[in-house]
Structure 1
Amino acid sequence: MKIGIIGGSGFVGTKLIASLQEELGTSTINIDKQQSARYADITHIADVLDKEALTSLLADVDVVVLLAAEHRDDVKPTSLYYDVNVQGMRNTLEAMDANGIKNIVFTSSVAVYGLDKDNPNENTPVDPFNHYGKSKWQAEQVLQEWYKSHADWQIRIVRPTVIFGEDNRGNVFNLLNQIATGKFMMIGKGDNQKSMSYIRNIVAFLVFLIHDQKGGYEVYNYVDKPDFTTNDLVYHTGEILNKPIPTVRIPYWLGLMGGYGFDVLAFVSRKKLNISSVRVKKFCAVTQFDSTKAMSSGFVPPYTMEQGLRRMLEAEFGK
């Protein structure tokens, strides 16, 4: 089996390639506009917006894994979300069709549900609140429409929640780093549920879907259980690192006002800052999602949430 990963030079793609390279009888290529720091030998530099390049590079591929996306909160211009996430999907499907490839695994996002939803499952109506979520949903709609005339395809959509793990430098790492360095301040009460996914588990699920031969069109939320509250996450982190638990709390309204202030500062300075109103909203929001379908598919996560958190903290902070 030959697997083509589009957008595999990032965090998830690097871990996925590592896992696939351990399998006998499997070969992998990575197509990305950025060079892979670890897998330059199998990486081909190309943009998901270049359909001609995709068509050429996907020759002889059996399964495509589409990871490429614009996902940061502060992408400018906002049209890039739709160019990359939506038009990139169209280009990928047409390149696959030209090569007779009928099997795709696409990483969407739980961002399609919006904020503060009541444990949504795959049948919950979508309600994205930002351009990232809207563009991911539009990409899914492209797939839905495509499947109507390509019923012999195998389409797997994964909507992961926030992913954490070794080598990640996203929001979870920033939170853990603040706790580890004593710079953390809680915004709000901290009792909001936070669904998360450990990197080695989500990669294992992607590999599981790559080898799934049932056919058809399926959508899966991916979440590792149990869900932690923000207070739980702070407590477990402090306990594992043997750090005092921060006690300073900022009311939500005050934290949000500060976020708006940083928005203005970012606009004036034309710089991307680590604090914004969107990030404050996301930090304080309930982000809890149902993953019953994924966990009933025959897949068994190799690590528990506690094991994943401990592995990340030990790798990143030497504890």
Structure 2
Amino acid sequence: MAVNSVTVLGAGSWGTTFAKVLADAGRDVTMWARRPEVAAEIRDEHTNTAYLPGVRLPARLTATADAAEALAGAEAVVLAVPSQSLRANLTGWRELLPREAILVSLAKGVELGTLKRMSQVISEIAGVNADEVVVVSGPNLAREIAQEQPAAAVLACADHDRAVAIQQASFNSYFRPYTNTDVVGCELGGACKNVIALSCGMAAGLGFGANTMATLITRGLAETARLGGKLGADPLTFAGLAGVGDLVATCASPLSRNRTFGERVGRGETVAQAQAAAGGQVAEGVMSCVSIRELARGVGVDMPLTDAMYRVCHEGVDPARVGAELLGRQQKHEWS
């Protein structure tokens, strides 16, 4: 299952970065960009200044705004669009997907309404077995990886051979991918960490320090693991790159859109003001807290931080108030 020709659908910061990773690993990469001018810049100038200013892209990476052209002959197709728009985008691309191509998901989230994970959405729309979809997760802040700072990731797929094929296609001098067969755990870790990062940002905006941050990260990981355990995930996954690794990076870094969004709200901005300040880039946790909260309630899992972020983002409750309520919850054993 050697992969030499890859198509990346989506030209945002993470999609462009992962395309660079693949090209630097020796693959021939074609990107699809929604806007023709972005595709032209990537193809002709080898830059994507809207999302990765100052980053030079490899010569063997090209781009087009024509999805059919981008997908022709692809041995692997990387889906690099936001989680809540994945279904609509993939529906438009479905008939163009090469039959034997390995499908790879970069999206982190739980779909609103259906409460499906991204691999399940891809399986449904593309008409493939969910076990055949490779999920990318881990501490993957796009700008740092684009600058070739050392990083690792997890490639999760129940079909281990497919994960290995993408592992070999993306391994290079600065990017080290590991494989995992626990798709459920990796996807839940990737979705829930965005919500927890909102809470860490709000805490920072309120002026709280390292103790508060560590508490939120740890308790956020605990509620993520509770949900994962209920849905059949391997508990060890949450101790790895797709769990604590992704959570620490997203909660601690100013490069994290979710943390930055939360920090603005913590400083007193409204959700609408924080959204506008993000310049059009999506803070996935804002919508994920809705779907994750519904998913948790449906299986009887208590997720107080997720519920708090829902109340701030969708009910307008003051972050300081929900913080006080979290501290005032009934005392209990740490692992109950």
Shorter-chain TM-score: which interval? 0.3 to 0.5
What TM-score results when the alignment is normalised by the length of structure 1? 0.43
Could you say which structure has the higher helix fraction?
2
What TM-score results when the alignment is normalised by the length of structure 2? 0.41
